[in-house]
Amino acid sequence: MVLRRHPSATCNRCDSALYYRYLEESTGWQISVTCDPEKGCGRDVVSKRAPRHHVDRPEEARAVAKRLAGEL
């Protein structure tokens, strides 16, 4: 599990920084975006799965997660 702070995306409820993460599974990646668990409300903003045939490498999963956070 890798948790990274997005440079600009913020929670629309509490305005804290959003974090994104990606977890490798057997058939793909679990990608999620959460609000700052310490300073913010800590809610899970979005969670989705990316199948292996779409996202193969960790760098790709990171890019997908970061883009997802940036679109919120």
Of 12-20, 23-31, 54-62, 63-71, which part binds Zn ion (CB under 5 A)?
Answer: 12-20
- How many whole angstroms separate alpha carbon 70 and alpha carbon 51? 21
What letter represents residue 32's amino acid? Answer: S
Rounded to whole angstroms, the Cα distance separating 34 from 4 reads 10
The number of residues that bind Zn ion (CB under 5 A) is 7
Stretch touching Zn ion by CB under 5 A, among 3-11, 20-28, 48-56, 59-67: 3-11
Asked if 72 is part of the footprint of Zn ion (rule: CB under 5 A), the reply reads no
One-letter amino acid for residue 15 of the chain = D
Residues in the site for Zn ion, rule: CB under 5 A?
Answer: 11, 13-14, 16, 35, 40-41
